Copies of this chain bind each other. A is one copy, B any other.
């Protein structure tokens, strides 16, 4: 826990938003795995702040320098460390804020936990910038998964009150997922983009921000991945999804809606099809008893509105011990959702890798 995830695909992340560098170490990449750095860069670019008006004005190339674990384009089997130098830091924006707690942020919780020693610049280690290492790790994971026939993709299921369609959970197409990966503003119904952007712009214009929902699917996942209880796919992917800053809800399949369903609706009937067991519906999101059942895996995560807003907010100065009115300056995303799409894909890829490796360990000596 804390800065480390995994028993097999072991991931360590580090770095602070305005420190010298951020990065990650991955231990467990099979020796000989071909690492496609261009493909990694493609996913990194999907997360990186760009010129999109929903995103922060901070520009970071997010180029990853791999300093170990790679030789001649292939994993050596030793831990792979990648570094992303922080180049575009403007700490001055935050200097005056270190004792003034930004509402909705980790500031106060972190101040107490770290007794005032945490790095307050740009949120320090709590920064959404630390999702870059997650995307890097996820990009490696999806290269491993690709070789196993697994493809992942996600879309913006909602921004503010504007909804996209949902995946048809029985018939998610690999091609659809690849298409979504290629979109800067990934939607199943691209005609929703204008309304979503309008909602973001309306919030931004009022010095405010909006949240949204991301829906992610993985297809080609064999049945039998995951374990009951603590090693369930829902536990492992859920834990990773809740690791992403701003995620406040996670659901699989019909999720929250299953509470109001009857089993006769919610149970997914099974039939033989071409010698394989297939479900006729997929209310369970591809997971029953914590284990994949061969249907597409469907995960949704709700992202709260970016807490950094230009509006004046009621807060406290923890050093002075007094109330203050706070206006957050700096460069912030009025809506983080488009950039978070690839992050959610990444954590699902990592979870699947971890559990497929666990399955291999458990099936090894028989």
Contact = CB atoms under 8 A, between A and B. Distances in A.
A211 interface: yes
Given A2-B27, A71-B117, A289-B105, A266 B211 contact: yes
A19 interface: yes
A292 B109 contact: yes
Given A1-B236, A16-B68, 4 more contacts: A3-B227, A161-B260, A210-B261, A248-B254
B30 A365 contact: yes
A87 to B, nearest CB: 13
B228 A232 contact: no
A225 to B, nearest CB: 8
A130 B229 contact: yes
A102 B60 CA distance: 45
B311 A259 contact: no
Q: Which 9 pairs between the two chains have the least Cβ-Cβ distance?
A: A106-B289, A360-B364, A104-B267, A78-B125, A249-B251, A109-B291, A31-B114, A1-B231, A269-B314
A234 interface: yes
A305 to B, nearest CB: 4
A53 interface: no
A288 B104 contact: yes
Of the listed residues A3, A148, A209, the one surrounded by the most CB atoms of chain B closer than 10 A to its CB is A3
A366 B114 CA distance: 11
B158 A259 contact: yes
Interface residues of A, number: 165
Contact of A21 (B67, B147, B224, B357): B67
Given A109-B293, A291-B113, A4 B14 contact: no
Given A302-B258, A309-B264, A235 B243 contact: yes
B309 A267 contact: yes
Interface stretch (A166-174, A182-190, A270-278): A270-278
A304 interface: yes
Contact of A79 (B13, B254, B277): B13
Given A109-B292, A261-B211, A271 B101 contact: no
Given A106-B228, A230-B3, A251-B249, A261 B305 contact: yes
Contacts of A279: 103
Given A27-B12, A250-B250, A112 B224 contact: yes
